[in-house]
């Protein structure tokens, strides 16, 4: 049995490359050689703290869930995928039998297993297995890195779908990290009349403007209500309580508010505003059924994924990749290439 390397978080702050047997694809699964893996804030959080909320790393864990690759082997019964096919990995496995799965919101499946969420290993490895139908073929026009970033783009697709963004809508995105930027891109691709992006980081606001945001707002300079007319949609990507509060102040009647950024478990929300304006407030937990749309948006050029990449690392540099966002103030999306 052949072996392959993978990068394992053995304790907070320490990642080691170890050898493991190459996994075998089971029935309905494929084996994928991993081409590129984006570093997500949640990876960094596990690296730093060994936990996110109730998800605790108690055993060595492979991080990384934004991945692309090439199909290398087919498990029994797989007929609709081919060896050599380039794919974006939708890194979740769901039961297919519960109410959530059967009604089309499989992301809420109580038995969901998600890459790099303990105890499920992620994609910082030479190859991984995945259900064939979660390995989404990508066109050759998409780079490996862009294909990896279909994952965070799906977060943006889902948030915009929840918000029902459509032409004529004025949209505010709070937080200009990678997810906020991608939410802004998707809002623009859906024809929003205005996409305004707020953050306290001028560099990131500059990136937002370059990517096409119609208005960028330095949230450090005062409340949003002083610089923005009311908006129909708020997509909150900062997780910062002050941002949430400031955003609610500019919500138009019947505005939709989608909470994407993870922050405090509870927040003081303006309940009277929710009532008087009949705001609709919801949140997103990953995504469901978003990969095809995300791939199409990236393939058409409507969303630029390659432009988010700010660093490239080998499998033996995973810790460096994880630290990049702190060491480099201009870092947005470090990419690990396990095969290099």
**What residues line the site for its own copies (CB under 8 A)?**
28, 53, 96-108, 110, 131-133, 157, 160-162, 166-168, 186, 189-191, 193-194, 244, 253-254, 259-260, 262-272, 274-285, 288-290, 292-294, 296-297, 300, 302
Our CB check for its own copies shows the closer of 125 and 189 to be 189
Torsion sign across C-alpha atoms 236, 237, 238, 240 = positive
Our CB check for its own copies shows the closer of 131 and 315 to be 131
Distances (CA, A) of 328 to 2, 8, 179: 38, 23, 18
Distances (CA, A) of 325 to 67, 184, 218, 277, 332: 18, 21, 20, 39, 7
> In 3-state terms, what secondary structure has residue 286?
coil
Our CB check for its own copies shows the closer of 266 and 327 to be 266
**How wide is the angle at C-alpha 153 spanned by C-alphas 253 and 222, nearest 5°?**
45
Least distance (Å) between residue 284 CB and its own copies: 6
Our CB check for its own copies shows the closer of 291 and 313 to be 291
Our CB check for its own copies shows the closer of 220 and 302 to be 302
CB-count exposure of residue 45 (10 Å: 0-12, 13-18, 19+): middle
| Exposure of 95 in the CB half-sphere (CA atoms within 13 A) | 12
Least distance (Å) between residue 320 CB and its own copies: 30
The DSSP 8-state label assigned to residue 54 in this structure reads T
Least distance (Å) between residue 50 CB and its own copies: 19
- How many CB atoms neighbour CB 34 within 10 A? 28
Our CB check for its own copies shows the closer of 17 and 252 to be 252
Our CB check for its own copies shows the closer of 161 and 198 to be 161
Of 43, 115, 91, 65, the C-alpha closest to 325 is 43
Least distance (Å) between residue 301 CB and its own copies: 12
Q: Most distant CA pair in the chain: distance in Å? A: 65
């Amino acid at each position: 049995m052949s072996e392959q390397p993978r990068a394992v978080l053995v304790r907070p702050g320490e990642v080691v490359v170890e050898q493991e047997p190459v996994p075998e694809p089971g029935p309905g699964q494929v084996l994928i050689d991993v081409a590129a893996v984006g570093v997500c804030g949640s990876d960094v959080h596990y690296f730093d703290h060994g936990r996110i909320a109730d998800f605790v790393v108690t055993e060595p864990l492979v991080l990384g869930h934004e991945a692309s690759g090439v199909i290398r082997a087919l498990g029994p019964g797989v007929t609709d995928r081919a060896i050599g096919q380039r794919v974006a990995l939708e890194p979740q496995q769901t039961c297919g039998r519960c109410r959530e799965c059967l009604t089309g919101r499989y992301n809420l499946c109580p038995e969901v297993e998600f890459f790099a969420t303990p105890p499920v290993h992620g994609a910082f490895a030479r190859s991984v297995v995945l259900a064939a139908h979660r390995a989404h073929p990508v066109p050759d026009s998409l780079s490996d890195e862009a294909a990896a970033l279909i994952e965070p783009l799906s977060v943006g697709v889902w948030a915009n779908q929840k918000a029902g963004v459509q032409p004529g809508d004025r949209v505010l995105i709070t937080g200009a990290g990678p997810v906020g930027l991608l939410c802004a891109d998707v809002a623009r691709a859906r024809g929003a009349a205005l996409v305004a992006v707020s953050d306290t980081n001028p560099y990131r606001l500059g990136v937002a403007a370059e990517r096409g945001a119609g208005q960028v707002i330095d949230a450090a300079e005062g409340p949003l209500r002083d610089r923005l007319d009311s908006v129909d949609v708020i997509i909150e990507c900062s997780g910062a309580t002050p941002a949430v509060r400031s955003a609610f102040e500019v919500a138009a009647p019947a505005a939709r508010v989608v909470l994407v950024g993870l922050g405090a478990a509870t927040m003081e929300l303006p309940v009277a505003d929710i009532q008087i304006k009949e705001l609709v407030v919801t949140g997103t937990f990953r995504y469901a059924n978003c990969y095809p749309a995300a791939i199409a948006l990236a393939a058409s050029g409507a969303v630029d994924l390659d432009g988010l990449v700010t660093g490239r690392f080998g499998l033996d540099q995973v810790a460096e990749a994880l630290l990049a966002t702190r060491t480099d103030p201009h870092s947005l999306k470090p990419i690990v290439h396990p095969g290099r």
